[in-house]
């Protein structure tokens, strides 16, 4: 039996399935950390997720580690460079989550513009009989800027077709053959956009890509939607821009220090806050589990992961 180190719990179904086929050391269980040293020589695979990651210190502790298999597409929490330096391949679960993350991003665009969550709070609070809500913003026909026209960004752009929107995108390089307009300057694209949707990876290369200047370019009527990573946005600058009315609103699924959400955001009416649920549907989570298992089996049977990062 292969000895696997699982860094954090996924669904009950997944945890049971993994433990049925392999010897699993579940790192979150009491006493597991102490067992890690005695098992370190035998651990061949680390199973983790975008949330639990895998740092260089842990990789170093496992002399016979052969692969890191992760649940989720983002791998900014995994030290891929440290793994590569030891020749350890890393897999993720791309593509199967594109639709659900893009649906959620588009939901945030509509919710922020049409004040749906705010209207729901208004009705529940019994305020309807005594007044009205401020008017919302039209979504159809507007300008959508996408930061990161990759797998998820493409799916967001596709959804915008049904809303007759104009689409531009900002990547480091233009996408060959894309029907959407490329913007080399993020600030220029933010100035042009009514809605700015972030769908790029997290990590050092994109840290605070959305700066105070970008937020100011998006402006007092602009809406920021973030389904990428909290690190991509300068969060204190975002809070300031919202408090000072320099930004119209924001729909956030991700934050700088999850699960902490700045109090100022909780207090603002023009912000929609979700607890990192981009891929959190029954169908997509099952597909992600299946892809993780497929990677694991392929590696154990043929020595190759299917979807390496
Ligand atoms: P992907 O296919 O690799 O696309 C990433 C896009 O970002 C590419 O178009 C890339 O283009 C662009 N990009 C990368 N670095 C950039 C930079 N420094 N500046 C501007 N653009 C940059 O990835 P994906 O599968 O669509 O996933 C994107 C991200 O979504 C993940 O990494 C993850 O962080 C996030 N995500 C969030 C959730 C959630 O629950 N909210 C769920 C799944 C994924 P270039 O290489 O040309 O720059």
User: Is residue 40's pLDDT more than 90?
Assistant: yes
Domain spanning 3-96+282-302: CATH superfamily:
NAD(P)-binding Rossmann-like Domain (3.40.50.720)
User: Is residue 79's pLDDT more than 90?
Assistant: yes
- Catalytic annotation, pick one of 258, 283, 297, 304: 258
pLDDT tens digits, 1-19: 899 999 999 999 999 999 9
Separation between Cα atoms, residue 16 and residue 14, nearest integer Å: 5
3-96+282-302 matches 98-273 in fold: yes
Identify the burial level of 212 via C-beta atoms within 10 angstroms of its C-beta, where 0-12 means exposed, 13-18 middle and 19 or more buried. Answer: middle
Q: Which element (helix H / strand E) includes 72?
A: none
CATH of domain 98-273: 3.40.50.720
Find out whether the beta carbon of 204 lies less than 6 Å from any atom of ligand 1: no
Whether 51 is a known active-site residue: answer no
What does the pLDDT average to over 23-27?
96
**pTM score over 0.95:** yes
Sign of CA dihedral 108, 111, 114, 117: negative
For residue 34, name the pLDDT band (cuts at 50, 70, 90).
confident
Q: Is the peptide bond before 259 cis (omega within 30 degrees of 0)?
A: yes
Instruction: Tell me which of 33-37, 46-50, 127-131, 178-182 is least confident.
Output: 33-37
pLDDT computed for residue 56 by the predictor: 98
Structure tokens at 136: 């919302």
Extents of the domains making up the chain: 3-96+282-302, 98-273
pLDDT tens digits, 203-229: 999 999 999 999 999 999 999 999 999
Ligand 1 mutation pick, 150, 183, 259, max ligand atoms within 8 A of CB: 150
How much of the chain exceeds pLDDT 90, in percent? 97
Whether 258 is a known active-site residue: answer yes
For residue 139, name the pLDDT band (cuts at 50, 70, 90).
very high
Report CA(151)–ligand 1 centroid distance (Å).
8
Find out whether the beta carbon of 202 lies less than 6 Å from any atom of ligand 1: yes
pLDDT tens digits, 97-116: 999 999 999 999 999 999 99
Find out whether the beta carbon of 227 lies less than 6 Å from any atom of ligand 1: yes
pLDDT computed for residue 33 by the predictor: 84
């Amino acid at each position: 039996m292969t000895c696997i180190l699982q860094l954090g719990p996924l669904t009950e179904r997944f945890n049971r399935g993994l433990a049925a086929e392999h010897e699993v050391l579940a790192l979150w269980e009491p006493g597991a950390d102490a067992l890690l040293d005695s098992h370190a020589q035998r651990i061949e695979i680390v199973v983790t997720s975008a949330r639990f990651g895998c740092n260089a210190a842990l990789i170093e502790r496992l002399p016979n580690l052969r692969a890191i298999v992760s649940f989720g597409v983002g791998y900014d929490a995994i030290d891929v460079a440290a793994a590569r330096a030891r020749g350890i391949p890393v897999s993720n679960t791309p593509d199967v989550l594109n639709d659900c993350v893009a649906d959620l991003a588009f939901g945030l665009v509509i919710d922020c513009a049409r004040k749906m969550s705010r209207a729901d709070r208004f009705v529940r609070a019994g305020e309807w009989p005594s007044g009205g809500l401020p008017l919302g913003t039209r979504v159809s026909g507007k300008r959508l800027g996408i930061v990161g026209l990759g797998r998820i960004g493409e799916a967001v752009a596709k959804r915008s077709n049904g809303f007759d929107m104009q689409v531009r995108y900002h990547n480091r390089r233009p996408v060959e053959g894309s029907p959407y307009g490329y913007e080399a300057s993020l600030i220029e694209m933010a100035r042009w956009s009514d809605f700015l949707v972030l769908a790029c990876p997290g990590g050092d290369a994109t840290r605070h890509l959305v700066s105070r200047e970008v937020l100011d370019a998006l402006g007092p009527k602009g809406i920021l939607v973030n389904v990428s990573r909290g690190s991509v946005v300068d969060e204190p600058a975002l809070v300031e821009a919202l408090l000072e009315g320099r930004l119209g609103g924001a729909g956030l699924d991700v934050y700088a220090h999850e699960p902490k959400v700045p109090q100022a955001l909780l207090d603002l009416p023009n912000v929609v806050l979700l607890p990192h649920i981009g891929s959190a549907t029954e169908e997509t989570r099952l597909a992600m589990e299946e892809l993780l298992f497929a990677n694991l089996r392929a590696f154990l049977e043929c020595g190759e992961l299917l979807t390496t990062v």
